[in-house]
Amino acid sequence: LDHGNFEGDQESIIHLSEAEYLMWPSNSMPVLFLSSAASEKVEEAVRVDGQDVKIAAGPSIGGSNAESDFSIGGGLRVYNMFTEEKKHFPNLFSTVDWIEASDSRPLLFVCVPGETGIVMLDISDPMNNPRIIAETQIRCRRRGWADYRLIDFQRGDRWITTIVDPSDYGNLLYYYDTTDVTGWVYIGQLHANWENAQDGLGQVRNVDPAGLLQVVTWHCSDVFCG
């Protein structure tokens, strides 16, 4: 049931009876989502009138399409803070786990969960033509404690991109040559294991423009350390 736009609104928990579970052993079953207005009518009918409510859907069910200002939540939304102009590009990708722009180039890095992984967008003309220029298949997710997921910097005539612990497990830093943005070249990795082998990695940032030095922070193991 859709109860409006607020945090957690699109998260649904479906509880199956034993009979339903046996009917759908693959844990894949049809689910019908109702609009906020329709769900309120159903709840009212059950709560006030005590009616047995039956809901039907499909091509054989008549009806009319109601006008709606609903737009898909996926893709990329671009806002101009000066002119208040806004654009929505819903077909670039669906749900993302994190999104971060390069500090040095007109590039946007997006973590798309699943098989796609981290994708790179050219945002030199963000209001008119943000476009995907590379799909890396580097698996990623949004858990963990890192505020920054990557460092993009120039060293000589090369561009280096550091991906910070993309799976949020293992305390691993991956280094890529992204001079050719359409063809990332793997350079190597660093296992930041001096505090813990798997967890606890905090922030990783450059402390000089050339990226020769990077500072790494760690998170406390309990609530008593400041």
- CA–CA dist 149, 142 (Å, integer): 9
Tens digit of each residue's pLDDT (9 = 90 or more) over 94-150: 778 889 999 899 999 999 887 678 999 999 999 999 999 999 888 888 776 667 888
* Tokens linked to 13: 């928990």
Give the residues across from 153 on adjacent strands: 160
CA 131, 136, 141, 144 dihedral sign is negative
Tens digit of each residue's pLDDT (9 = 90 or more) over 26-36: 556 677 777 77
User: 210: pLDDT confidence band, cut at 50, 70 and 90?
Assistant: confident
- Is the predicted pLDDT of residue 42 greater than 60, yes or no? yes
Q: Which residues of 202-226 are buried (b: 16+ CB within 10 A; e: fewer)?
A: bebebeeeebeebebebeeeeeeee
pTM of the predicted model, to two decimals? 0.65
